[in-house]
Structure 1
Amino acid sequence: MLRPCRSIVRGISAFAKESTCRSVHTTALVMAPVKVGDQIPSADLFEDSPANKVNICDLTSGKKVVLFGVPGAFTPGCSKTHLPGYVQNADKMKSEGVSDIVCVSVNDPYVMSAWGNQHNTKGKVRMLADPNGVFIKALDLGTNLPPLGGFRSKRFSMVIDDSKVVELNVEPDGTGLSCSLADKLKIKK
């Protein structure tokens, strides 16, 4: 379920016609990429199983949260560099006032849980699944990667303070490993 966080609406109406020449009115979200200063959209993500919903807007309300997105669990760059960097830097980030560190990927919650277990993320990085890409689409940070199954998240990192984006780093090619790494974040107290 996608709903605006704090009444910030990120969509407008669009009109479409069916090929049968019958007019039909539809509403579609027209997204612009998230930017510093934006409120994050409210979306339900999943932790460990489909039964454990975590609303990202509720999770970030009143807290400082680091959130990073990856193209896929168990992929080489994500497993060798991206996720391990956040696990290794978790204590440092938390000492700088970060309440939660969140990894998001367009995967199912069981895959994210297994990947987290493999990298010993418990108590350090929360592994949240966005199975249909609802949150990633609302941020307009998705990309099409057919070898990984189609729609995926671009590689990015952000600092969120009370549901507002205060720092954002999106890899220029969407998948590289440079500006979105844990040691590149500048967490302001």
Structure 2
Amino acid sequence: MASTLIKQSSILKTLTGGLRFFASKELISSIVGSDIVSAAPDVSLPKACSYDEGVSSKFATTPLHDIFKGKKVVIFGIPGAFTGVCSAQHVPSYKTNVDKFKAKGIESIVCVSVNDPYVMHGWAEKLEAKNVIDFYGDFDASFHKSLSSDLTIDLSGALLGTRSHRWSAYVDDGIVKILNVEEAPSDFKVSGADHMLTQLHYHEIVSKKLTN
């Protein structure tokens, strides 16, 4: 019995990122299990595009329902396009593992940042990642705030203003199943692709045990 409890505790610790980072138990419990679409019924996100494309589409945005409902989605949030860790580590970690995520049934990988969609477009093209990752701009931080105000951070000291913490999540049919939030915007410990793939592996094991 003790051995079983230890193993279950280890699995839960892996799924939650250990709870030793910025994400408190309260923050995780308030978001994990919630429906992203229901939490923000009036929020929609502009997909990365050039300004001319924005004008042509009459500045169309995508409802959260279209992004998440009926799909298995991995989403990660970044402090800012064209910044160090985001460009050198975070996006590349997902770009190089797209096939592994597809093998686990993930239908789309989403990157979102408190930036306008035009900056996100330029950044995605520079990283040559636009064809494998869906980039969205949360220009007024309404998406992040709808999940939790604790997902935003004041980075005025770095001349960035209100931004997003670095985080990642697995969302199944709109329901948040896994959430990771880094302790600091410069950290890259729990929000990358490798960690998420490990979590998805354990999530599959737990799900199978629960259904058997």
**Where on the TM-score scale, by shorter chain, does this alignment land: which range?**
0.7 to 0.9
Structure 1 residue 174: Cα displacement: 4.4
Distance 2:132 2:186 in 1: 23
Answer 1 or 2: which has greater helix percent: 2
* 1:10 paired residue number: none
Residue 143 of structure 1 aligns with an amino acid whose one-letter code is I
- Of 124, 138, 143, which aligns to 2:153? 143
Amino acid at match of 1:177: F
Q: Secondary structure at the match of 2:132?
A: coil
Post-superposition offset of 1:56: 2.2
- Is contact 1:158–1:167 with CA below 8 Å preserved after alignment? yes
Give 5+ residue unaligned stretches, structure 2. Answer: 1-25, 205-212
User: How much has 1:175 moved relative to structure 2?
Assistant: 4.0
For the pair 1:59 / 2:74, whether they are aligned, the reply is no
Percent sequence identity over aligned pairs:
40
Residue aligning to 1:35 = 31
Task: Work out whether 1:44 is the aligned partner of 2:44.
Answer: yes
Distance 2:190 2:159 in 1: 22
For residues 86-145 of structure 1, the C-alpha deviation after alignment (integer angstroms, 9 at most, x for no partner) is 111111101210111000000010000111111111331101000000001112210000
Q: Which runs of 4+ in 1 moved over 3 A?
A: none
Larger strand share, 1 or 2? 1
State the TM-score, normalizing by the size of structure 1: 0.78
Amino acid at match of 2:95: V
Higher relative contact order (CA 8 A, sep 6+): 2
Aligned residues: 158
Could you tell me how far apart the structure 1 residues matched to 2:64 and 2:74 are?
12
Equivalent residue number for residue 170 of structure 1: 181
Structure 1 residue 112 corresponds to structure 2 residue 108 = no
CA-atom RMSD in angstroms: 1.6
TM-score (norm 2): 0.70
Correspondence list, 1:149-168, <5 A: 149-168=160-179
Task: Write out per-residue CA displacement over residues 131-167 of structure 1, whole angstroms, 9 at most, x where no aligned residue.
Answer: 0000011122100001142100000000000000000
